[in-house]
Structure 1
Amino acid sequence: MVEILAMLSASAAAGLRIGIPLLIIGLLQGSNLWSQTPILSHISPKILLCLLTSWSLLEFFGSKKLLGQRVIQVVELLLSPLVGAIMGLAVASATDTPDWLIALTGGLLALVLQLVQIGWFYRLRGLPLWAAFLQDTLCIALVLFAFDAPWQGGIIALVLLWFAVRSAKQWYDWRYQKNNIY
């Protein structure tokens, strides 16, 4: 059960940002950068370090402006299921659950959280600065919780999933009320 909660926590982090969680996972592995991480273990650590550091800086600074949010969201929408699956597999390696199920669950959780971000971006016409800082902080905390406190990280991931369901209902109600006005 603990591994499943850790997987949910890591995959939720990938649903918020994609570069920062992968960078943290690699750095937490010490001198064996990404050697335990599926798919990424086949790429040179120097290239990954350069690529993920650049993307993480772009995520951190670009998410504070409207144009940067739009560009980042397009890339993250396409890559978040893959990164969510990788993060889930990297964290939940000691469980008896089949790898395909972990990858599918992690990828879908990351995709759902990414879609919720895009929905709020559309609804609010851009995310406020405090929300971007909250995403960065929550993303880093979820990755660290996946390793050090999987129960707490899993609970936070489940709360984010609950928030996603509530957001979808709110958007549906908003759209239904908007159509009935005319």
Structure 2
Amino acid sequence: MIEILATLSASAAAGMRIGIPLLIIGLLHGSNLWSEVPILSHISSPVLLGCLTSWSLVELLASKKLWGQRLVQLVQLLLSPLVGAIMGLAVAEATAAPDWLIALIGGLLALVLQLVQIGWFYRLRGLPLWAVFLQDTLCIALVLFAFGAPRQGGLIALILLWFAVRSAKQWYDWYWKKS
């Protein structure tokens, strides 16, 4: 059960940002970097480190402006299910559940959180700066919780999923009031 909570925590982080969680996972593995991470273990570590560092800087800096949020969200929408699956598999190494199920759960959670983020972006006509800083902080915390405190990280991920469901209901009600 702990591995499932850790998977949810890591996948939720991938639903907010894609470069930062992968970069942190690699750095937490020490000198091995991404040698135990599925898919990423086949890519050269210096190349991967350079790409993830560059994209993490783009995520951190460009997401503070409206045009940057649009660019980052487009890339994140396309890649968040894949990164969520990778993060889930990287964290849940000793789980009895099949790898495809862990990857599916991780990818879907990341996609759902990314879709909610995009929904709020368009509903609010851009995310406020405080919300972007909260996303960055929460993303880093969820990755660290996935390794150090999976129960708390999993609980935060479930709260985020509850928030996603509540947001969808709110948008549904708002849509029918306008019609």
Question: TM-score of the superposition, structure 2-length normalised?
Answer: 1.00
1:54 equivalent to 2:54? Answer yes
Secondary structure at the counterpart of residue 165 of structure 1: helix
Deviation at 1:38, TM superposition (A): 0.1
Shift of residue 50, structure 1, vs aligned partner: 0.2
TM-score norm. by structure 1 comes to: 0.98
Residues 79-137 of structure 1: per-residue CA shift (max 9 Å, x gap): 00000000000000111100000000000000000000000000000000000000000
> Please, what is the CA RMSD of the aligned residues?
0.2
Matched residues in 1 for 2:16 and 2:97: separation? 25
How far does the alpha carbon of each residue in 1:142-166 deviate from its partner, in whole angstroms, 9 at most, with x for none? 0000000000000000000000000
Deviation readout 1:58-85 (Å, 9 max, x if unpaired) = 0001110000000000000000000000
Note the alpha carbon deviations across 1:30-51, whole angstroms, 9 max, x for none: 0001001000000000000000
Q: Provide the rounded CA distance (Å) in 2 between the counterparts of 1:47 and 1:124.
A: 37
Q: Which residue of 2 aligns with 1:119?
A: 119
Partner of 1:102: 102
What residue is the counterpart of 1:72 in the other structure? 72
Runs of 4 or more, structure 1, over 2 Å off, are none
CA distance in 1, matches of 2:50, 2:38: 18
Identity, % of aligned positions: 82
Q: Does 1:148 align with 2:152?
A: no
Which amino acid counterpart does residue 2 of structure 2 have in structure 1?
V
Partner of 2:34: 34
Which residues of structure 1 form unaligned runs of 5+?
A: none
Aligned mates of 1:158, 1:62 — CA distance in 2: 28
Structure 2 unaligned runs (5+)?
Answer: none
- Distance in 2 between residues matched to 1:28 and 1:143, nearest whole Å: 10
Deviation at 1:2, TM superposition (A): 0.2
Amino acid paired to 2:177: Q
